[in-house]
A and B are shown apart, each in its own frame.
Chain A
Amino acid sequence: MRKYYLVAAAALAVVAVGSAVPVLRGNTVPDTVIAQLEGDPERGAYVARLAGCIACHTNEAGGGELLAGGPPLKTPFGTFYGPNITPDPISGLGNWSLNDFARALRHGISPEGEPYYPAFPYTFYSKLTDQDVADLWAAMKTVPNADIPSKTQELGFPFDQRWALRGWQNLFFDSERFEDDPSRSDAWNRGRYIVEGPAHCGACHTPRNLLGAGDAEQALHGAGGLPGGERSPPITPAALGERGRDENNLAFGLRFGTKPNGDVLGGSMGEVIRDGTSWLTDEDLRAIAHYLLNNETE
């Protein structure tokens, strides 16, 4: 209970501070000028694998239609439901433009100007390249319509105050595209792009503060309090090394879920592998493994 008050007080403080920031970035339409890009739906389906869209937006276990709304995601802040993102004009994204889609993914703002909860990992998707966004959008448009209304998010006070997310975004979120580090190899940069961008590894493997923002200093150090009471292990180079990981068996493990000792990865990582990483190219899996084992830069 004491922790609840602490969190509530902190949340209100954030709202106060965030709202006092004179430039409400959320009110200015981000200058995404990618509408001219031609998207490739096949590449987009691959980006969807990288980004794990299906897991949160499809209720597989409940037999739901593809991308018509996800299963409950129970977090310390409340229960989130991934909304319907099929092209249905009433319940889905049928009336969205590519720019609307890009703004949602990379800026966390709906076409109506409403900020999204960071349970939607736009803090990671903001790194997506223009082309990946356009490809993903082309793929989204080929999904069958489903006129199933999105569920309302179930959050208690103060987290149900959506306007307060402007403050949150002002304090904790910069929408920045990915930039290659020219001193590193192509594989390292590709791996970093995937890990920090679409694959949003840090959403589970980086601890969050009391307000749900990732702790950059503890990036990929593992975290508790995950949906379903799970705990993620650290995936820093040192921690992976201790667990007997090298680039080969890590890349292989991301395809097959195997560990060096003959055991397999379980929990929600099992699902991430089954529906996500096992579909990636060898080249990308090796890039991820290479980056994870060699990212001790800062």
Chain B
Amino acid sequence: MRNLKLKILAPVGALIIVASTGLAFAHGGATGIVKERMDLMDAVGKSMKTITEMFQGEKPFDAAALREAAAFIGNHGGEQMTRLFPEGSIQGPSESLPAIWQDWDRFSELANDLTKYASALAEAADNPRGPGMGASMNQGRQGGMGTSPMGRRNPMMGGSSSSGMPMNDPAALAKMPPDAAFARVTQTCSACHTQFRKKQ
């Protein structure tokens, strides 16, 4: 009987150990500035999750909560983020790539973009929701095919990536449906992680 119990309990125990070390491993061994920024990234990720769940319709849409989460992200971009990356700080479990210091201008630019777009998202929190999930059967993002699709400079692009287009202007984004600013926030995260974070 005891053996049987052991047989059942041993794997359960092993699972618990594996699960708990798994959790600890995420930041295991991180100290000092590396730990500080990994904790910050975690917190930013939590805010992103809050916003995502709301936009996806898994949680009720709450403009105040959106504003708060977006402001949190905005307050931790720019220098608040870059100050956590002193040159060469890739020790321990850090996922940072040395490319950060080889292309510090680009890294800083993206950190500033994060603040710009997250702040625009906070400002846009009360605007009506735009095209996107939840509004069924509508078209995709504005400009994708609505207006004259070709003919302007980069018409197929509809202004998605060339700088200077309205989609990159925080003041314009603040007046648009929050979906537009949120798209710029996620694109900024993605661009920075692609260039400066170890492959997952």
Is A74 among interface residues, defined by CB-CB distance under 8 A? no
Of A48, A264, A267, the most chain B CB neighbours within 10 A belong to A264
Decide if the interface of chain B is mainly helix, strand, loop or mixed.
loop
Which of A12-20, A174-182, A253-261 lies at the interface with chain B?
A253-261
Q: How many A residues are at the interface, by size bracket?
A: 35 or more
Measured between beta carbons, the chain A residues less than 8 angstroms from B187 are 257, 270, 273-274
Is A278 among interface residues, defined by CB-CB distance under 8 A? yes
B12 to chain A, nearest CB (A): 21
Q: Mark A195-217, 1 if CB is under 8 A from B, else 0.
A: 00000000000000000000000
Q: Check A258 against B144 for contact (C-beta < 8 Å).
A: no
Whole-angstrom CA separation of A60 from B153 in the bound complex: 12
Query: Which residues of chain B in 151-187 are interfacial with respect to chain A, using CB atoms and an 8 Å cutoff?
Result: 151, 153-158, 160-161, 179, 182-183, 186-187
Which of B2-10, B14-22, B45-53 lies at the interface with chain A?
B45-53
Measured between beta carbons, the chain B residues less than 8 angstroms from A48 are 156
Q: How many B residues are at the interface, by size bracket?
A: 35 or more
Is A280 among interface residues, defined by CB-CB distance under 8 A? yes
Q: Mark A220-249, 1 if CB is under 8 A from B, else 0.
A: 000000000011000000000000000011
Q: Check A256 against B52 for contact (C-beta < 8 Å).
A: yes
Is A77 among interface residues, defined by CB-CB distance under 8 A? no
Q: Which A residues form the contact surface with B (CB < 8 A)?
A: 41-46, 48-49, 53-54, 60, 66-67, 139, 142-144, 230-231, 248-249, 251-252, 255-258, 260-267, 270, 273-275, 278-285
Which 6 A-B residue pairs are closest in the complex by CB-CB distance?
A: A45-B149, A262-B49, A142-B150, A279-B144, A270-B190, A262-B45
Q: Which B residues form the contact surface with A (CB < 8 A)?
A: 44-49, 52, 55-58, 131-133, 135-141, 144-145, 149-151, 153-158, 160-161, 179, 182-183, 186-187, 189-191, 193-194, 197, 199-200
